[in-house]
Structure 1
Amino acid sequence: MPDTALLQADETLFPAPLLTLAADVLAAARARNIRLAAAETVTSGLVAACLTSVSGASEIFERGYVLYHSSAKATGLDVPAAVSAAHGAVSAEVTRGLAQGLLGHSEAGATVAITGYAGPGGGNAVNPVGTIFIAVATRDGGLAEERHVFPGSRDNVRLCAVQAALALLKSQLA
């Protein structure tokens, strides 16, 4: 165990642009008087961690789920097994199901879900490594979805996915 700080006083876990975006998302949710929740596979809780890196996030961010094993992400949050069987655990359909299912497992007014292939393995001809699916669902029936293919290392893909998820969430809260 180190007996010194791992980060310097001015260092953060996330790049400044992501923290600014997270603060904007929280402010938008606060303005609408709603809470947020996240269901993450490929990002393993990084969206939740980024949001909760902003002071005051506990007033807005309700909960996060990390569904990492293929069986968990395929059927978590009440996604029907048939959806995953037909489209794959990493798909727009499963991601949409996770975002919508999270509405039923929380009191959040808006949810975000992410699936994808960060690499170095995984992916296929249609959805190569770097493919990320994001869905945002709102309690008032709103739904937005995006598919991205990000380049670079596993960590770059995951951080780009966090940025894209926060941007989509912000756009749906505006």
Structure 2
Amino acid sequence: VALMRGLEPEGGWPDVSDAALEADLARWLGPYLVGVKRVDALADGPLQAALAGLLDHALGRRLDAELPAQLIVNGRPRAIDYTADAPVLAVRLQDLLGQRDTPRLAGGRVALVLHLLSPAGRPLAVTADLAGFWRGAYGDVRKQMRGRYPKHPWPEDPLGAVPPARAAR
């Protein structure tokens, strides 16, 4: 919501800053506290519902469409982390083979920051420019990782490659 408010200051998005939420705590959170006996019980759903209640139906639908919680990458849903300054998508490098451009959100206004991971899930690179990564740093990553993960594809031409199918467990 804060990201959309920054993108569209006149769009009717509510202020969800800590100060604004604290100042109006009784109104937006109060109705959801009925029957709650422990603070840790808020994490089970009432807090999420209370924050969602700040949006009318139209804004809620727009939020879900413009800034989804997940993105499908190579057939699998991947969670998007909105807690940093820019949205972050952690994904295996091989799942992006053949993809030229960085995925974008909010109608193309926001580029995801990609945390490119090794087959073991360890960070290899961070970029908001996938095309630049393929042209530049990928060559070095490929040299380092080919020997460590020989069963995984490390093509010389990552843009012409197809992401590998999901491995059977």
Q: TM-score, structure 2 length as denominator? A: 0.27
Which has the higher relative contact order, 1 or 2, with Cα contacts under 8 A spaced 6 or more apart?
A: 1
Structure holding more helix per residue = 1
TM-score, reference length from structure 1? 0.26
Of structures 1 and 2, the larger Rg is shown by 2
